[in-house]
Amino acid sequence: MTMQKPEVGKILTEAYQYWMKTLPYQLLFSVIYFSVIMFAGAYAFRYYGLFEEVNRFSQLMYSDFPAFLKKYEALMQTDNAVAFTMAVLVIKAVIFPLNIGFLKIYRKLDLGEPVVVSDLFAGFRGYHFFLFGIYAVFWNVINSYLLLFPPLCLLWIGLALFVPALVFYKNINFFQAFRISAQVFRKNVFLILLVSLASVLISYCGILVFFFGIFVSFPFWNAAIYVLYKHLIADFGE
């Protein structure tokens, strides 16, 4: 494991370069990701009867917005709403392996190998789909609770940041991967936190560009993770 600690600017610059080289794949990723989330989420919203419930007081949105919010908040406390929330977490977990494809794409760029569209779906092949799907459910459930406590949420993100990459590159189990990821985080807390925060801002800044810009900027996060992994761990199991 390397002890090299590059600057935040260097990490983000390298991530930007990987991102620029793979713009078509960034767009394809976002189209697939948001399509699955929106259509599957809308189906679940209707399946659990929430669409009909919202329709019953939707007119309040125009006449009495505070009252609308109050009724909506009450609705989201019901059993059906809780079931819907869990369904969304599962949906996000099912599509999560799409992120793994960038780990393969960026590594192939470094090795000078040609990149093909099927590389984007590397996380869905064989047992990888179940591994990363289960991990994503676990991660999403914990993160959904920690969102109420931003400092703890940031800590959790940092501790688990390299788990998928370690599992993919080194073919180790999640417990070993989490232990290594946590060790790297403890040694590079400020670097990882600053890069993570900057990456989140960059990923969502596309909303400011006529909103549709997010379809290109959203996957930037994956490039930042790859560059951090390359500099701080640099073990690709080859």
Per-residue pLDDT for 182 more than 60? Answer: yes
Angle 210-88-34 (CA atoms, 0-180°, nearest 5)? Answer: 30
Q: Whole-number mean pLDDT of the chain?
A: 88
pLDDT digits (tens, 9 = 90+) for 206-219: 655 545 556 667 78
Asked if residues 218 and 33 have their Cβ atoms less than 8 Å apart, the reply is: yes
Sign of CA dihedral 181, 182, 183, 189: positive
Phi, psi of 122 (to 5 degrees): -60, -35
- In this structure, the chain runs to a length of 238
Q: Confidence band (pLDDT; 50, 70, 90) for 1?
A: very low
Q: Confidence band (pLDDT; 50, 70, 90) for 179?
A: very high
pLDDT digits (tens, 9 = 90+) for 37-57: 999 999 999 999 999 988 888
Asked if residues 198 and 12 have their Cβ atoms less than 8 Å apart, the reply is: yes
Average pLDDT (62-88) is 89
pLDDT number for residue 25: 94
Per-residue pLDDT for 185 more than 50? Answer: yes
Q: How far apart are CA 116 and CA 131, in angstroms?
A: 23
3-state secondary structure 54-113: HHHHCCHHHHCHHHHHHHHHHHCCCHHHHHHHHHHHHHHHHHHHHHHHHHHHHHHHHHCC
Average pLDDT (97-126) is 95
Per-residue pLDDT for 161 more than 80? Answer: yes
Q: How far apart are CA 80 and CA 50, in angstroms?
A: 7
